[in-house]
Structure 1
């Protein structure tokens, strides 16, 4: 499939990099606004925020690596955000999506809310503050196609604005050839048998990978702490006599991933190998 470049226009509404921001994608009728919590009240000057749209609230969670989000819809966006100032205290930024041609109706935004919740839940990067999955209304086939395109563009802009709530940890639609070229393996002592892929964000250890059942005496304390947290959070679970990843997990580096898998200090660039035996370092530097 041929990939095409896209033009995104960012405008600092107040001339400040950490203030309010609008975000537009070329040839799309949607528009995004990124608004810090402390500037919600003063955003009454934005007439477009008085209409119908979808919004996402973002905040920091207590767990390491787990931020919080709430996905909602409203026929009066600004009014709803004002209500959330007193009802929800976890969030510090909001991203709002509207239609520049006022083409979104109540059924549309309810559909968007439900689908975005489903995607965020499946991707599982954020803890969602929504109580339950919002119900999905029935809309026409043509409207559904239009909303799915809207969702695709929401994902692109949210990611561009720095929030990967809808971004898969790794591509799920790879061909067999692509998988063979991008999947690395570790098989080592004490039951370590894992697969992983290098991404633009770091290194993903894949679901069902097994890790060493124990660690060495010299295992660094910071890795031991991370290992125990992953077990507490049930990202690593016990299955029969093994410890396995219950879901894909993103590490900041191949070495961090290798250390947790092997239960000892490790250089991920040399420990992770393709099925043909080539190490990750050789692939990254184009050396055989």
Structure 2
């Protein structure tokens, strides 16, 4: 399916990236807002805060994992003020509304439910809340809101949070296939992965070496330990098994984590036919 370029306009209201940011797409009636928690009251009289919309509270949970809460409101500022009083984890809010009167109670509840589903499926942030109710809408209304939703995904990412973007969406692929590579050794370790716009994805069920060699950097040792604590790596028949797709910052980091030693990703990752990643990147 052919895709088209989009023009996005970011406006830093107070001239810095630490205050209120508005985001608009060409030919879109919607608008995205990013506001730090400590700035909510300062900007509360703005028109965007006093309309219906969907919002995402963003912060860290008790285990320092990226965490989010997704909600809807007929007046955004009223709900944000409530959450300042009763939810402590968040330090930033994104919310999305309409520059006209396009959104109503039913449509924002539909968007809330769908954003919850997308965030849960993407598995980038911890989403700990009840499932939002989805209202009954006509097929035509749902189609319009799905288009609105696709723009929310783009704007949210441009505002710094790829909460709704699954790892699969970051993988480079043509019309017929995506690039699948393998990293393995004679001892039985075997990972399956793909280059990604965010780094390098290693897929679920890959097997990592357990015994770490002295050449493995402290940074990767720490990352592996955190993966174990988070349940992303679990012991299975003498190996660490990956329980979910996981993105590393580079192919070399992914290879080193798999082989538990210093490793060059462009040389360790190969296609099924044995072609090195090194020769696929030029």
CA offsets per residue over residues 212-236 of structure 1, 9 Å max, x none? 2433354333322222221221111
CA offsets per residue over residues 164-197 of structure 1, 9 Å max, x none? 1011112389678422xx1111121332111101
Aligned counterpart, 1:30: 30
What TM-score results when the alignment is normalised by the length of structure 2?
0.93
- Alpha carbons 1:190, 1:213 under 8 Å: kept: no
Offset, 1:71: 0.7
- Counterparts of 1:61 and 1:268 in 2: how far apart (Å)? 32
- Alpha carbons 2:31, 2:96 under 8 Å: kept: yes
Aligned counterpart, 1:88: 87
Q: Residue 201 in 1 paired to residue 193 in 2? A: no
Aligned counterpart, 1:114: 113
Judged with a 3 Å threshold, the aligned counterparts in structure 2 of structure 1 residues 257 and 173 are, in CA distance, closer, same or farther, namely closer
- Alpha carbons 2:57, 2:93 under 8 Å: kept: yes
- Counterparts of 1:240 and 1:192 in 2: how far apart (Å)? 11
Judged with a 3 Å threshold, the aligned counterparts in structure 2 of structure 1 residues 112 and 194 are, in CA distance, closer, same or farther, namely same
- Alpha carbons 2:189, 2:207 under 8 Å: kept: yes
Aligned counterpart, 2:7: 7
CA offsets per residue over residues 233-257 of structure 1, 9 Å max, x none? 1111234554321110000111111
Aligned counterpart, 1:148: 146
Q: 1:272 aligns with which of 234, 257, 269?
A: 269
- Quote the RMSD (CA, aligned, Å): 2.0
What TM-score results when the alignment is normalised by the length of structure 1?
0.91
Matches within 5 A, 1:69-218: 69-129=68-128, 131-171=129-169, 177-179=176-178, 182-218=179-215
Judged with a 3 Å threshold, the aligned counterparts in structure 2 of structure 1 residues 176 and 192 are, in CA distance, closer, same or farther, namely farther
Aligned counterpart, 1:237: 234
CA offsets per residue over residues 59-101 of structure 1, 9 Å max, x none? 134546x311111100110111111111112111111111112
- Counterparts of 1:134 and 1:140 in 2: how far apart (Å)? 19
- Alpha carbons 1:206, 1:245 under 8 Å: kept: yes
- Counterparts of 2:110 and 2:172 in 1: how far apart (Å)? 24
Aligned counterpart, 1:16: 16
Judged with a 3 Å threshold, the aligned counterparts in structure 2 of structure 1 residues 23 and 220 are, in CA distance, closer, same or farther, namely closer
* Consecutive unaligned residues in structure 2, runs of 5 or more: none
- Alpha carbons 2:172, 2:195 under 8 Å: kept: no
3-state SS of 1:119 partner? helix
- Counterparts of 1:119 and 1:89 in 2: how far apart (Å)? 24
Q: How many residue pairs are counted as aligned between the two chains?
A: 281
